[in-house]
Amino acid sequence: MTKPNILIVDDTPLNLALLDHILSQDGYQVRPIPTGKLALITAKVTIPDLILLDIMMPDMNGYEVCQKLKEDQLTKDIPVIFISAINETSDKVRAFDAGGVDYIVKPFQPQEVLARVKTHLELRSLQIQLQASNYNLKKLNEEKNHFLGMAAHDLRNPISAIHSMSDLLLCENNLDPEQTELISDIKSATDFMLSLLKDLLDVSAIESGKLNLQLESVDIKKYVERIVKRYRMISKLKNIQIKFEIKEPLPPISIDRNKFEQVLVNLLTNAIKFSHSDTIIQVSVTSDQNQVLFKVEDHGQGIPTSEREKLFKPFSLTSVKSTAGEPSTGLGLAITQKLVLAHDGQISVESEVGKGSIFSVSIPIK
């Protein structure tokens, strides 16, 4: 196996010869270079695996050479070990600030040089392996998102057709109760499937970087009131009351109307889904000098502390079950968090088992 190649940069011929001898005897490929300027040129021609760099040189000192190497995309990842007779702490700190990975004081011991060279070459090898693994994982994730997007898009049309046909069948007058129940089950299943496909398309768009916000200033009071009014009709089916409180005046904020509505809808539907009948959901909007704060508070089951870290992870479900058997995809809060972050906001949760949960979304005032 071929040993790594090492660039030695020192204006003293004796030092170059000694380091060349030490490293060559251990099997390394060595290129001795007498000046900093020549080192910068040589490093680009054949990228070395490691550089041993003197500090005090006439044309360009070692700090300057190292900084130039780190500014260049081709050479920025090469590990640089400074070798110098200067033994002051300030000079060592300056060397590390310039981008060096280690510092050896002259006169050096051959065993020390070899040990440090070996260590940093191994670290560089591991870094390269990690970069390759990260690149492969990124490609796999992109392929996964592409597949999810295609699959969700292709499945949406036939499932929409089944949904529409089940609606038409339910309008027939000659159905017996059993047939009506079966068709209603088909319609409920397709409702859930369409919701899941929408979530999958959202995840695919967000993770592939295709989420483009159309920001505009909105009348927050009217905007939230409209959403709350719509979901009051749904909450009545479980005899749950939604109260809305707003502290005015509110400063203007810029949001994407559709995307931020998805945030509030997800929080409201979750509150309805996990709340018991005959309880209250409180929606409030307040502000301070820096942000507008949206809160959705329920008096439902609450979330165990040990399970809260799952809330914003895709496809993660907690042990808390919906109170009327409503289905859940495990994607809603993950999408909600990404949409909030895309607005430069933050989302948080406070919860107590048996008492309920408060989800808070803050959006900065711009």
Which of 155-159, 272-276, 297-301 shows the lowest per-residue confidence on average (mean pLDDT)?
155-159
Q: Is the pLDDT score of 35 beyond 90?
A: yes
Going by pLDDT thresholds of 50, 70 and 90, the confidence category of residue 197 is confident
Proportion of the chain above pLDDT 90, given as a percent:
54
CATH topology of domain 5-108: Rossmann fold (3.40.50)
C-beta of residue 313 within 8 angstroms of C-beta of residue 234? no
Q: Which of 330, 346, 237, 241 is nearest to 291 (CA)?
A: 346
**What is the arithmetic mean of pLDDT over 277-300?**
92
Q: Is the pLDDT score of 38 beyond 70?
A: yes
State the pLDDT at residue 22: 94
3-class secondary structure, 198 = helix
**What is the arithmetic mean of pLDDT over 301-307?**
90
**What is the arithmetic mean of pLDDT over 299-322?**
86
| Structure confidence by residue, pLDDT tens digits, 217-251 | 988 999 999 999 988 988 998 999 999 999 888 88
State the pLDDT at residue 70: 95
**What is the arithmetic mean of pLDDT over 17-22?**
94
C-beta of residue 311 within 8 angstroms of C-beta of residue 333? yes
Average pLDDT, the chain: 89
For 215-364, CATH number out of 3.30.565.10, 3.40.50.1980, 3.30.1740.10, 3.40.50.300 equals: 3.30.565.10
Q: Is the pLDDT score of 363 beyond 90?
A: yes
Compute the distance between CA of residue 280 and CA of residue 302 in angstroms, rounded to an integer: 14
Q: How many CA atoms lie within 13 A of 199 on its CB side?
A: 19
Packing angle of the helix pair 177-207, 332-342 (nearest 10 deg): 40
What phi-psi label fits residue 315: left (phi over 0), alpha (psi between -120 and 50 degrees) or beta?
left
Model-wide pTM > 0.85: no
